[in-house]
Amino acid sequence: MAAESTPHLHSLLFVLNPISGDIDKQNLESTITAFCTQRGRQAAFFHTSGENDLDKLRAHLAANAYNAVFAAGGDGTVNLVGEALLGGKIPLGILPLGSGNGLSKDLGIPQDMGGALEVIWKHKLRALDTLHVGGHFSAHLADLGFNALVVERFCSGDKRGPGAYIRIALQEYLSYEPVTYHIETDREQFEGPAFMLTIANANTFGSNVVINPDSHLDDGEFELCLIEPFPATAALGILYHLYTDAFDTSVYTKRLRCRRASIQVMGQPRVLVQVDGEPLTLDTPIEVKINPRSLQVLTPAPY
């Protein structure tokens, strides 16, 4: 898709999550303010608290005029700001300061502070598709099964960063039992057991695992990416495929491309789901639909 015209960004809001990732944020506001002031921009700040953040942010945006809103945190902060801006003209910017930073990586946004801030001056405006998963907004990836369990354990723990995630994944892998899914999409049906099921509007997890190769964030479709049960002897091979952009080459993987889907977890009226890095417990069946080109996002120029 072609990029939209480039907006002039003078007044900027930075939404800060003080606990995302494992990055020291003590001097974050002063760094951002100095960076913007030197270039003739105005920086304002909104701090998340974990309590009614979406309603508070929407009220703040209704009372103030900004040219762009930057999510300064991880995928959860991006989700929050994206939902607040959904369907509007104010673009989302991303300062990737979380543990995973999945959407920013898919968009090619620099992972260092200086590089990410440069997007304010050198950018293109891109309209991305978004998802609703069981009624919840998603800008990137959601999943059920093994990874959802690992994310839940990670979020409830007191350690952050890739090392903590890997440690939990190894612990949970030893005892995890696949479940059976019944899936109906606008194109096909699937029923069978799966180790995990990813609802993907994007390509890559924050861990650099490519779960959905050759997909696009603005094509009006999403993919259901299944990893079917596999023997322990195949685990390293599957991991290798995921880190080498070769998801489709494994006999244990399957992708369903669609515009809407209904996902039933057999025997489970409620199921654990992670949505953009946030664990939720949702009623089944879980209805998924795509919202084409519904979120304006700042990306590096050219993208």
Q: What integer pLDDT is reported at residue 7 of this predicted model? A: 55
Q: What is the dihedral of CA 126, 11, 278, 188, to 10 degrees?
A: -20
Q: How many CB atoms lie within 10 A of CB 289?
A: 16
- Distance separating alpha carbons of residues 93 and 46, to the nearest angstrom: 14
Instruction: State the amino acid at position 198 in one-letter form.
Output: T
CB 277 within 8 A of CB 100: yes
The Cα 107–Cα 94 span in angstroms is 10
Residue pair 154/213 in contact (Cβ under 8 Å)? The answer is no
Alpha helices, DSSP H only, in 189-299? 235-243
Q: In sequence order, which residues have a C-beta less than 8 Å from that of residue 91 and are 6 or more positions away? A: 7, 68, 69, 85, 125, 296, 297, 298
Domains and CATH numbers, the chain: 11-129+294-300 (3.40.50.10330), 136-293 (2.60.200.40)
∠ CA(84), CA(14), CA(302), 5° rounding? 85
> pLDDT tens-digit profile of 57-105?
999 999 999 999 999 998 899 999 999 999 999 999 999 998 788 899 9
The number of residues making up the chain comes to 303
Question: β-strand 42-47 against 11-16: which pairing, if any?
Answer: parallel
Q: Say what the pLDDT of residue 3 is.
A: 46
Give the containing element (helix H, strand E) for 206.
Answer: none
Contacts 24+ apart (CB under 8 A), 35-40: 35/114, 35/117, 36/12, 36/120, 39/120, 39/121, 40/10
Give the number of other Cβ atoms within 10 Å of residue 142's Cβ: 28
Kindly report the number of other CB atoms within 10 A of residue 302's CB atom. 9
| Residue 217: per-residue pLDDT | 95
User: Which pLDDT score is estimated for 155?
Assistant: 78
What pLDDT shows up at residue 4? 45
Distance CA 89, CA 66 (A): 11
- Which secondary-structure segment (H or E) carries 232? none
- pTM for the full model? 0.89
Helix 146-156 vs helix 162-173: crossing angle, to nearest 10? 130
Residue spans of the chain under pLDDT 70: 1-8, 19-26, 160-163, 303
* Amino acid in position 28: L
